[in-house]
Amino acid sequence: MSEVTRILGAIEQGDTMAAAQLLPLVYDDLRKLAAQKLTHEKPGQTLDATALVHEAYLRLIGNDPAQPWEGRRHFFGAAAEAMRRILVDNARHKKRLRHGGAMQQVELAEEILPFDNPVEDVLAVHEALDQLANDDAQTADVVKLHFFGGLTLEQAAELLGIPARTAYRDWSFARAWLFRKLSGEPGA
């Protein structure tokens, strides 16, 4: 009987410490399985093998640690199925209209200033940022901390007391808004 099978039996018997012993034993195998699953996904996948392993492990052990496992093969089969479901859920999430739907992601250059003169650049951004602050102070603060302060978006989010995802969303919006404003596009 392998160590994994013994620990799975202990988990089934309700041994709470056994679940903690299982992950180090199966982690490398689960990571290989996750990496193999991700090779079949389209490029641009937001999940990496590590995140997929952790999410699958939580689904397998976290919800019902006393689940009956019929050995190593059953556990890894369930892990593969959990990974598949996570990838399907993630794909469905991305297809939702409120998350971009069928829209294509376009990368904008960090250089959002369409001017040649640095003095004009700073003054134009300053004026545009003041306008943005009147409408959305938090987004303007994210721009100030990231663009002018040199902080990462995670650091800016922590400083402002907002989630990092919100800071990324604010930064994306601000870049597009500032580009339109500074390039003089109508409707800016």
Q: List Cα–Cα distances, 21 to 46, 61, 66, in angstroms.
A: 29, 12, 14
**Structure confidence at residue 165 (pLDDT):** 94
105 Cβ neighbours under 8 A, 6+ residues apart: 44
Q: Please check whether residue 109 lies inside any domain of the structure.
A: no
- Residue 118, SS3 per DSSP: helix
CA dist 140 and 133 (Å) reads 5
List pLDDT tens digits, range 113-125.
444 545 456 677 7
Looking at the fold, whether 95 and 156 belong to one and the same domain comes out as no
Looking at the fold, whether 36 and 8 belong to one and the same domain comes out as yes
Looking at the fold, whether 83 and 138 belong to one and the same domain comes out as no
Report the CATH number that the domain containing residue 71 is assigned in CATH: 1.10.1740
**Structure confidence at residue 27 (pLDDT):** 80
Structural domain containing residue 138? 118-183
Please, what sign has the CA dihedral across residues 23, 27, 30, 34?
Answer: positive
Report the CATH number that the domain containing residue 131 is assigned in CATH: 1.10.10
Tokens coding 44: 């641009």
Q: How confident is the model at residue 107 (pLDDT cuts 50, 70, 90)?
A: low
List pLDDT tens digits, range 46-99.
677 888 888 888 887 775 655 666 777 777 777 878 888 888 787 777 776 555
**Structure confidence at residue 77 (pLDDT):** 76
